[in-house]
Amino acid sequence: MRVLVVGSGGREHAICWALKKSPKVTELFCAPGNGGISEIATCVDVKATDIDGMVAWARENNMDFVMVAPDDPLAMGMVDAMEAAGIRAFGPRANAAIVEGSKAFSKELMKKYGIPTAAYEIFTDMEAALRYVEEQGAPIVVKCDGLALGKGVVVAQTAEEAKEAVRNMMENKAFGEAGAKVVIEECMTGPEVTVLAFTDGKTIVPMPSSQDHKRAFDNDQGPNTGGMGAISPCPNYTSDHAKTCMETIFLPTVNALNAEGRTFKGVIYFGMMLTPKGPKVVEYNARFGDPECQAVLSLLETDLMDILEACVDGTLGDLNVAWKDAASCCLVLASGGYPVAYEKGKEITGLDAVSDAVVFHAGTKKENGKFYTNGGRVLGVTAVAPDLRAAVDKAYAAAQPISFEKMHFRSDIGYHILDAQ
Ligand code: AMP
Ligand code: GLY
């Protein structure tokens, strides 16, 4: 099969790496890809958000299958457009990808179908939103409705802070139209866990649990980032949690989307909090998380291509999806200053000296046989071991030889969670 992966981050490198192992995949392409991906796939110079350009390229180049990994093209309807052109494509259609594109939609869906989540109200009127904050008091959570690169959420410790967030989103339009509508919700407590799941719209197959580390600095300090590292499985998530989540969250979500005429096929991301009253949904995403994907796919034993096809064809129930009985850690090496201001174009050295781990590239480019930084998150050093502590130790040891100017990484990925247990 001639297969195209859409996207350019560490997640897409991990997807390409897994697909490369499939005997079914004879030729692998990635648009636009990155320096690391260019080692295992042919990179194609089409932007991930260029729907028409991507469909035209896929058609001209006889793609048998397209895997759409990032949120934007999914929300924009790339899967719908591929299908309309007669090309098999993995990922939710736009009408289902809305679970990520609109927090208001997701909250209404959960309320209607009794799926556990934080209590909330939705506002399009700023004065009403400010009054609600005043009534409810703090702590309270303010979220803008649309996509805001993970930055449109403020967990406010005081009512003043919450009001400032409301004004910032609704009056100052800090996130543009994404903030025209805001969701204000109850502040939940408890450990966070992510469960990614494959679904064909009927059957849902959860992957091993995982946990991202969103803040830039150790001990969850500093600004929110795309993710500074991930581990899998998450030690806080027990088999009892898994059973409860399947019954109260995973299956009800798939069934709810079906009932709404928005059948979801692809990877659905359940961001959850294990509250004293049981697991509750924090957010849905319509795709693999990054860097959760790198950690989780490292544990996959089944051919990823078989799974992707089964999701598209509606035959996931016939497939046995197997995982290594092990743990993994993806440690992100970022550009100093990320996520605020950082430089690019720094030479990366030491990659050849890495052993016993896979280095997934995120923001890199390759020129004249050398790799250079080309983004905020640069690399994800990913290791697998029999238990979590060993996997984390191994990822840190493997990262040691790698260096570039102003390289920054957290020193507590995984340890932060192990130590809190
Ligand atoms: P989101 O973009 O919705 O995943 O929110 C980003 C982060 O904000 C989450 O990972 C949580 O740490 C935190 N958060 C979101 N909603 C809540 C909530 N209702 N209560 C407590 N923390 C929250
Ligand atoms: N790592 C979080 C996300 O991909 O949304």
Which residue in 115, 101, 94 sits closest to 145, CA to CA? 101
Distance (Å, whole) CA 243 – CA 333: 35
Distance (Å, whole) CA 308 – CA 2: 14
| Residue 150: pLDDT over 80 | no
Distance (Å, whole) CA 143 – CA 409: 28
> How far away, in angstroms, is 271 Cα from ligand 1 center?
9
Span 40-98, pLDDT tens digits: 999 999 999 999 999 999 999 999 999 999 999 999 999 999 999 999 999 999 999 99
Which DSSP state fits 156? E
Question: Which ligand 1 atom lies nearest to the CA of residue 118?
Answer: 19
Which residue in 328, 344, 421, 337 sits closest to 381, CA to CA? 328
Q: Residue holding tokens 């993995």?
A: 90
**Closest C-alpha residue for ligand 2 atom 2:** 289
Span 255-292, pLDDT tens digits: 999 999 999 999 999 999 999 999 999 999 999 999 99
Distance (Å, whole) CA 322 – CA 302: 5
**Closest C-alpha residue for ligand 2 atom 3:** 289
Span 298-340, pLDDT tens digits: 999 999 999 999 999 999 999 999 999 999 999 999 999 999 9
Query: pLDDT tier at 177 (50, 70, 90 boundaries)?
Result: confident
Distance (Å, whole) CA 97 – CA 284: 10
| 11 three-state secondary structure | helix
| Residue 151: pLDDT over 80 | no
Is 266:253 a contact under the CB 8 Å cutoff? no
Q: Where are the alpha helices (DSSP H) in 142-246?
A: 159-170, 239-245
DSSP conformation letters of 13-80: HHHHHHHHT-TT-SEEEEEE--TTGGGTSEE----TT-HHHHHHHHHHTT-SEEEE-SHHHHHTTHHH
**Residue 111 has what pLDDT?**
96
| Residue 104: pLDDT over 90 | no
**Closest C-alpha residue for ligand 1 atom 18:** 187
Residues framing ligand 2 (Cβ under 6 A)? 212, 226-227, 285, 289-290, 292
**Residue 403 has what pLDDT?**
98
**Residue 149 has what pLDDT?**
62
Question: Which ligand 1 atom lies nearest to the CA of residue 186?
Answer: 19
Question: Which ligand 2 atom lies nearest to the CA of residue 290?
Answer: 4
Residues 298-314 as b or e (16 or more Cβ within 10 Å = b): bbbebbbbbbbbbbbee
Least confident of 142-151, 190-199, 220-229, 372-381: 142-151
Top mutation candidate among 147, 212, 297 for ligand 2, by most atoms within 8 Å of CB: 212
Is 317:199 a contact under the CB 8 Å cutoff? no
**Closest C-alpha residue for ligand 1 atom 7:** 153
Establish whether residue 283 lines the binding site of ligand 1, counting it when its CB lies within 6 angstroms of any ligand atom: yes
Is 234:417 a contact under the CB 8 Å cutoff? yes
Q: Which ligand is nearest to the CA of 211?
A: 2
| Residue 247: pLDDT over 70 | yes
Please confirm whether the linkage preceding 339 is cis (ω < 30° from 0).
yes
Distance (Å, whole) CA 208 – CA 299: 8
**Closest C-alpha residue for ligand 2 atom 4:** 289
> How far away, in angstroms, is 297 Cα from ligand 2 center?
15
Average pLDDT for 380-401:
98
Contact partners, residue 368, CB within 8 Å, separation at least 6 = none
Establish whether residue 282 lines the binding site of ligand 1, counting it when its CB lies within 6 angstroms of any ligand atom: yes
**Residue 101 has what pLDDT?**
86
Establish whether residue 390 lines the binding site of ligand 1, counting it when its CB lies within 6 angstroms of any ligand atom: no
Establish whether residue 418 lines the binding site of ligand 1, counting it when its CB lies within 6 angstroms of any ligand atom: no
Percent of the chain surpassing pLDDT 90: 93
Establish whether residue 193 lines the binding site of ligand 1, counting it when its CB lies within 6 angstroms of any ligand atom: no
> How far away, in angstroms, is 410 Cα from ligand 2 center?
17
Q: Which ligand is nearest to the CA of 271?
A: 1
**Token output for 255:** 């069934």
Span 339-375, pLDDT tens digits: 999 999 999 999 999 999 999 999 999 999 999 999 9
| 416 three-state secondary structure | helix
Q: Which ligand is nearest to the CA of 212?
A: 2
